[in-house]
Amino acid sequence: MLDPQLTQKLTPIFQDVFDRDDLVLTPELSSSDVEEWDSLSNIRLFVAIEQEFGVRFTTDEITALNNVGELADLMTRKGI
Amino acid sequence: MSQSGPALKDLPWLCPTPPDFREACRKLSGLPDGAFAVEARRLAAHAMSESHLNQICKALDRRSAAGQSLDPLQPLTLAVAGNGTTDLLAKALRGTAVRYGFDLRVVQGAFGQISHEALDPDSEINRAAPDYVLLALDHRALPLAAGPRSPEEEAADVEKALGWVSSLCRGFQSHTHATLLLPTIPAPAAPLFGSLDARVNGAWRHLLAAVNRGIAEMAAGSGSLLLDVAGLAETVGLETWHDEALWNIAKLSFGQSLVPLYADVVLRLLAASRGQTRKCLVLDLDNTLWGGVIGDDGLDGIELGNGTARGEAFLAIQKTALALRDRGIVLAVCSKNQDEIARQPFRRHSDMLIKEDDIAVFVANWRDKAGNLRDIAKRLDIGVDALALLDDNPAERALVRRELPQVGVPELPEDPADYPRVLAWSGLFEAAAYSDEDAVRARYYADNARRSEAGAAVTDMDGYLASLGMEMTVSAFDAMGRTRITQLINKTNQFNLTTRRYTERDVLAMEQDPQVLALQIRLKDTFGDNGMISVVIGRPDGDALDLDTWLMSCRVLNRGVECATLNVVAGLARQRGFRWLRGVYRPTEKNALVRDHYRRLGFSQDGAEDGGATIWRLRLDSFSPHPHHIAVGLAVPAPHPV
């Protein structure tokens, strides 16, 4: 279960980055579920989140991410 | 916009994207041909983020894929040769190009293969026959390693790096007709010693300063465009510019949040090289040139001048406007005011830096700004798209954007202290080249205004023209005129029979080709020197001289320059043994002015082509010169014996 507040903030970013209105965030959602989610748009996703929330991700955090649930945990750890 | 003021990377001179941007992009593909480009440009005029750029790109691609027209977006091909990943850059460039009216196809070189792309005639880029090649290089691309060196070692390193860049230039230039965009190289953010890096030979800062000077010279010498990436990176801050993690993960040359800005800086340069730039800055008055409202607060009440922080801010805005004027941008005033009241500060406020004489057209009335801006353009004989408007009032800005989207209207931040930098960052006055004539252009317009006043006083046109004491000089293309010739060829839209654009390299080639009759024409009169005002290019076509190009600045319209020019061209053509002059009128959106040019000059129509072009001929042995009031000086070398 994703934190509803965080989901509300992340959904428009995902929809914008991948240009998909129908994208619904679940903890299990990963790059293999979204056609547009490749290694380069993954960078765009992280940059968009960094800009929106004023945080910064490390190399490990960007490269090791597997799904939306892990992203949510990561953001909670960063105090968002 | 953040609370700390406008940030360059957010393109603060553009309006924020509307919330329905993505949806509006999706609807683009369904629009009829005419409406499509208008709506696409309206959307692209916002401060698009990377995601937005991606979305508008997709809309364009969908439309192309469906076989629908992107007209009148102008098709152009840009190749990107970089040492990093350029995929994300490519989309941003294509999306940003819509802002400038281009349907930009972006070709990417193979990753890590810059030299191959440049030198192999069959490389991806060379085969694509691009109009422009952007070298997207950073310090990692150069054959350089930083570290303390002797002055001689550093000089050798610099030479080696410049030699490599130069070999890329020569490669692309010998295999394509492309104009190159040569970048300066930002220094890495991390110093070796610290402050000492600025003076130790071989430290990045010291080394790259020399490399960048060399690149700037190379650009000037090779007819390439200089893209000052190092300057951009400094303005943004090297700390933000560089992102080592992104380089390691995905080989991205600089911080990804800066891509929209980088793309805009590339496209504005490209647009400027094609003559798309603003010639006139139109200034609002109240709360733009001074604080307060002159009609309410009076001369003593407005804030201007040293002593208060706000007063100094408005002083700085005036200095910015005058600095633009000094480089040749025309200043005009457009204000909702009563004329005499609006002029009071110009005449009687001791801190006012801008004087009435600096303003080519002064419009203060209560009519709507869009209408007034149309008038200003008309009185200056320039297109509405050559205007930029500086106005503190968001409602006026919105109105002008809606009524006249061609006018450049920068958004302005809350604090007038930030106006100068936002106006400068907007790139509305970007120039691809700068010649002495640009600097005095503002004066031409003031002279012109006086000329039309003189014209109003004289009812007899012949008497008026004779009183102007015009002297015209016709000479062959030469090195001194080359930059201005290229500029005229690329930005003249109205009085331009064929609207053929040529690069500085093309112009050089014509200069050196004895078969081509390539003429530059200058005009002086009692009011001043108009500089170079016309270009004519003739190419042999059997027993006819084909007029490939005939263009003229609208500043000197209705003064008999066309007649005097034809007399000269006909004389030179006859001297070279031609029996006919052949002229073509190729219609564009902007050149209806010269539809009947050849008819008026006594040519007979000799056919038409698809697309509405008309073909004209003039028989030279029966041609008798047209009367005019211009003294003509000729400096064209005699023809080579054939």
Position of tokens 């990417």?
A: B108
Residue ranges of the domains in chain A? 4-77
Interface check for A17 against chain B (CB to CB < 8 A): the answer is yes
Pick from A44, A58, A63: which is nearest to B256 by CB?
A44
Residue numbers in B near A44 (CB within 8 A): 50-51, 54, 88, 256
Q: Is the pLDDT score of B148 beyond 60?
A: yes
The pLDDT value recorded for residue B460 is 61
Torsion over CA of A14, A17, A20 and A25, rounded to 10 degrees? -10
Question: What domains does chain B contain, in order, with CATH numbers?
Answer: 12-72 (no CATH), 74-273 (3.40.50.1110), 280-425 (3.40.50.1000), 468-635 (3.40.630.30)
The pLDDT value recorded for residue B463 is 73
CA Rg, chain A, in Å? Answer: 11
Distance CA B428, CA B13 (A): 10
Q: CB count, 10 Å around CB of B123?
A: 23
The residues that bridge with B615 in the sheet, in sequence order, are: B584
Enumerate long-range contacts of B113-116, CB under 8 Å, 24 or more apart: B114/B81, B114/B82, B114/B83, B114/B141, B114/B168, B115/B164, B115/B167, B115/B168, B115/B171
Distance CA B320, CA A7 (A): 47
Chain A nearest-CA distance from B442, in A, is: 42
Pick from B51, B85, B252: which is nearest to A48 by CB?
B51
Interface check for A10 against chain B (CB to CB < 8 A): the answer is no
Q: How far is CA B563 from the centre of its chain?
A: 30
Q: Is the pLDDT score of B477 beyond 80?
A: yes
The residues that bridge with B479 in the sheet, in sequence order, are: none
B86 pLDDT tier (thresholds 50, 70, 90): very high
CB hemisphere CA count around B228 (13 angstroms): 14
Distance CA A40, CA B86 (A): 10
Q: Show the tokens assigned to B298.
A: 């009076």
Q: Which residues, at least 6 apart from B398, have a Cβ–Cβ distance to it below 8 Å?
A: none
Q: Is the pLDDT score of B641 beyond 60?
A: no
CB-based burial, B70-97: b 16+ in 10 Å, e otherwise: beebeebbbbbbbbbbbbbbbbbbbbbb
Q: Is the pLDDT score of B461 beyond 80?
A: no
Contact present, A15 and A21 (Cβ < 8 Å) = yes
Alpha helices by DSSP H, B283-335: 294-301, 309-326
The pLDDT value recorded for residue B407 is 97
Pick from A21, A50, A59: which is nearest to B248 by CB?
A59
Are residues B50 and A21, on separate chains, in Cβ contact within 8 Å?
A: no
The mean pLDDT value for B315-324 works out to 97
For residue B248, what is the nearest residue in chain A, using CA coordinates?
A59
Interface check for B9 against chain A (CB to CB < 8 A): the answer is no
pLDDT tens for chain A, residues 1 to 80 = 788 888 999 999 999 999 888 899 999 999 999 988 988 889 999 999 998 898 889 999 998 888 999 999 999 998 88
The mean pLDDT value for B256-277 works out to 96
Contact present, B56 and B75 (Cβ < 8 Å) = no
**pLDDT tens per residue, range B610-624:** 888 999 999 999 999
Chain A nearest-CA distance from B227, in A, is: 25
Domain A4-77 -> CATH class = mainly alpha
The pLDDT value recorded for residue B453 is 58
The mean pLDDT value for B56-70 works out to 91
* Interface size between A and B, measured as CB pairs under 8 A: 45
Burial class (CB within 10 angstroms; exposed 0-12, middle 13-18, buried 19+) of A44 = buried
Residue numbers in A near B3 (CB within 8 A): none
The pLDDT value recorded for residue B50 is 92
Apex CA B263: angle with CA B41 and CA B69, to 5°? Answer: 35
Interface check for A51 against chain B (CB to CB < 8 A): the answer is yes
Chain B nearest-CA distance from A17, in A, is: 5
Contact present, B88 and B256 (Cβ < 8 Å) = yes
For residue B88, what is the nearest residue in chain A, using CA coordinates?
A40
The mean pLDDT value for B504-523 works out to 94
B325 pLDDT tier (thresholds 50, 70, 90): very high
Distance CA B287, CA B301 (A): 12
The pLDDT value recorded for residue B391 is 96
Q: Show the tokens assigned to B570.
A: 């006909």
Numbers of helices and strands, H then E, in chain A: 4, 0
Chain B nearest-CA distance from A15, in A, is: 9
Interface check for A64 against chain B (CB to CB < 8 A): the answer is no
Chain A nearest-CA distance from B14, in A, is: 18
Distance CA B245, CA A58 (A): 7
Q: Which residues, at least 6 apart from B602, have a Cβ–Cβ distance to it below 8 Å?
A: B618, B623, B626
B97 pLDDT tier (thresholds 50, 70, 90): very high
Beta strand B179-183 pairing with B102-108:
unpaired
Apex CA B79: angle with CA B28 and CA B242, to 5°? Answer: 90
Q: Is the pLDDT score of B527 beyond 80?
A: no
Average pLDDT, chain B: 92
Q: CB count, 10 Å around CB of B173?
A: 18
Beta strand B630-635 pairing with B614-619:
unpaired
The mean pLDDT value for B101-129 works out to 94
The pLDDT value recorded for residue B5 is 74
End-to-end CA distance of chain A: 17
The pLDDT value recorded for residue B2 is 41
Chain B nearest-CA distance from A34, in A, is: 16
CB hemisphere CA count around B515 (13 angstroms): 8
Q: Is the pLDDT score of B228 beyond 50?
A: yes
Q: Which residues, at least 6 apart from A9, have a Cβ–Cβ distance to it below 8 Å?
A: A52, A53
**pLDDT tens per residue, range B355-413:** 999 999 999 998 889 999 999 998 888 899 999 999 999 888 988 998 999 999 999 99
* DSSP code of residue B510: H
The mean pLDDT value for B450-473 works out to 71
Pick from A15, A51, A63: which is nearest to B249 by CB?
A63
The pLDDT value recorded for residue B454 is 60
Q: What percent of chain B has pLDDT over 70?
A: 96
Pick from A17, A47, A63: which is nearest to B257 by CB?
A47
The mean pLDDT value for B156-184 works out to 96
Q: What is the DSSP string of B204-238?
A: HHHHHHHHHHHHHHHHHHHTPEEE-HHHHHHHH-H
Helix/strand/coil percentages in chain B, nearest 5: 45, 20, 35
The ipTM, to two decimals, is 0.89
The mean pLDDT value for B189-194 works out to 95
The mean pLDDT value for B293-321 works out to 93
Which residues 39-58 on chain B approach chain A with CB closer than 8 angstroms? 49-52, 54-55, 58
Q: How far is CA B302 from the centre of its chain?
A: 36
Q: Which residues, at least 6 apart from A44, have a Cβ–Cβ distance to it below 8 Å?
A: A17, B50, B51, B54, B88, B256
Contact present, B104 and B61 (Cβ < 8 Å) = no
Contact present, B430 and B271 (Cβ < 8 Å) = yes
